[in-house]
Chain A
Amino acid sequence: MRWLKENSLSLAFLIMFLLAVGGQAVAGMMQFNDQQAAEGSEPVSLLQYVTSSSFAVDVAENWQSEYLQFFLFIVLTVWLVQKGSPESKELDKAGAESDEDQQIGPYADEDSPAWAKVKGIRLWLFSNSLGLVMGAIFLLSWLAQSVAGQAAYNAERLGDLRDPVSWGAYVTSPEFWNRSLQNWQSELLAVLSMVVLAIYLRQRGSPESKPVGAAHSSTGVEG
């Protein structure tokens, strides 16, 4: 019980993720089969659908934009600030901050992670590991989107009696950029909304909000 409570945030999101991706698979298969029927083709099974390029491109294009959003949020908030926002750090703390503030090297605590206590490449890697991993997942997802997207696009083109295109032609096509940018714009707007709305609005008890009574001008305070 205690373990469940201590991990409830991750568990809740994991369960919601699994339900959503399962729902996407079923709804996507039904839509795909509806189209297949209209074209006189045979319906596909759920397993065939979830291993198809059509499903893969839909999943990957959303993943890449989410990881891009978090990557940008993590990295840009090192240097950029927003007065009054709990998503920003205090205005005079922009930058990588001092070793003391970051509890690294000689300032590391006894229970600090091992790579926070050393110097060199390991310290650099660990100091940037969150951004690096989010950025790497973004790039891998975007690559997966391009590969699966090319496959789905070419299947559609062959269905229309048109020549298939190369990967190079696909990643410079309006189809690829429309898929990418329509996801990016919504993620960027969501971050902008969060940063700005959290200056003036509150959610009592949420660490994503300032305390209800905090001044609109107070920055870097989380409730």
Chain B
Amino acid sequence: MRMAFVVLMLTLTTVGCAVDTASPARAAERFHAALAAHQEEAACAMLARKTADKLPDPGQSCADALRELRFGPGGQVTSVAVWGEDAQVRLAGDTLFLHRFTDGWRIRAAGCEPMGDLPYDCEVDD
């Protein structure tokens, strides 16, 4: 019975942990708010390091690269999925993928379009 208890606890801890969906949602909204306010440098500071490194062309800054991409408005949050350290936030006008680092949620990919069951096609990714 002890084993059954351990397995049950394993299930409950996996299922029962309260998932914080508000933090990644806020991070996604702040990213789009910065873009809407033409604060591309602030938006760049919210990107995951690999994403920020990959984004600019040679000789270009991250902010310039974001400016060129001309993101549309993000809009309201419509759904949030959090699994482990990764999250997907759907806004009315965009889908973003985020990762939780020690300093909080950062944007891994944005401007993403669904491609069926294949990976999303994103304007910005890592």
Distance in angstroms between the alpha carbons of A42 and B83 in the assembled complex: 16
Q: Which residues 28-55 in A have Cβ within 8 Å of B in the complex? A: 40-42, 51-54
Asked if A140 contacts B8 (CB within 8 A), the reply is yes
Contacts of B126 in A (CB 8 A): 40
Give complex CA distance A140, B1 in Å. Answer: 11
CA distance A163 to B108 in the complex (A): 15
Using a CB–CB cutoff of 8 Å, the interface residues on chain B facing chain A are 1, 3-4, 7-8, 10-11, 13-15, 48-50, 81, 83-88, 97, 99, 101-102, 108-109, 112, 114, 117-120, 122, 125-126
| A46→B24 CA distance, assembly (Å) | 25
Q: Given the known inter-chain contacts A154-B83, A158-B83, A158-B97, please indicate yes or no for A147 contacting B3, CB distance below 8 A.
A: no
Beta-carbon nearest neighbor of B125 in chain A:
A161
A-B contact pairs, 21 of them (CB 8 A): A40-B49, A41-B85, A42-B101, A42-B102, A51-B13, A56-B10, A56-B13, A60-B7, A67-B3, A140-B7, A152-B84, A154-B81, A155-B86, A158-B84, A161-B97, A161-B109, A161-B122, A161-B125, A162-B119, A163-B117, A164-B88
Q: Which residues of A contact B101 (CB under 8 A)?
A: 41-42
CA distance A33 to B109 in the complex (A): 22
Question: A148 touching B10 by the CB < 8 A rule?
Answer: yes
Question: Number of residues in A with C-beta < 8 Å to the partner?
Answer: 33
Contact B117 A144 (CB under 8 A): no
A interface, over-half SS: helix
Q: B14 touching A144 by the CB < 8 A rule?
A: yes
Residues of B within 8 A of A157 (CB): 83
Q: How many pairs, one residue from A and one from B, have CB atoms within 8 Å of each other in the complex?
A: 87
**What distance in Å separates the Cβ of A138 from its nearest Cβ neighbour in chain B?**
9
Give the chain A neighbours of B122 by CB distance below 8 A.
161
Q: A159 on the interface (CB 8 Å rule)?
A: yes
Known: A40-B50, A42-B101. A162 touches B120 (CB 8 A): yes
Bound complex: CA A119 to CA B121 (Å): 67
The answer to the question of A143 belonging to the interface, with a C-beta cut-off of 8 Å to chain B, is: yes
Instruction: State how many angstroms separate the Cβ of A40 from the closest Cβ of chain B.
Output: 4
Query: Contacts A40-B48, A53-B14 given: A140-B4 contact, CB under 8 Å?
Result: yes
Q: Tell me which residues from 86 to 109 in chain A have a Cβ below 8 Å from any Cβ of chain B.
A: none
Q: Confirm or deny: A198 has a beta carbon within 8 angstroms of a beta carbon on chain B.
A: no
A54 and B84 alpha carbons, distance in the complex (Å): 9
A111 at the interface (CB under 8 A from B): no
B10–A158 touching, CB < 8 Å: no
Residue in chain B with minimal CB distance to A63: B7
Complex Cα spacing A157 to B118, Å? 10
From 101 to 132 in chain A, residues with beta carbon under 8 angstroms from any chain B beta carbon are none
A196 interfacial by beta-carbon distance below 8 Å: no
Residues of B within 8 A of A41 (CB): 85, 99, 101
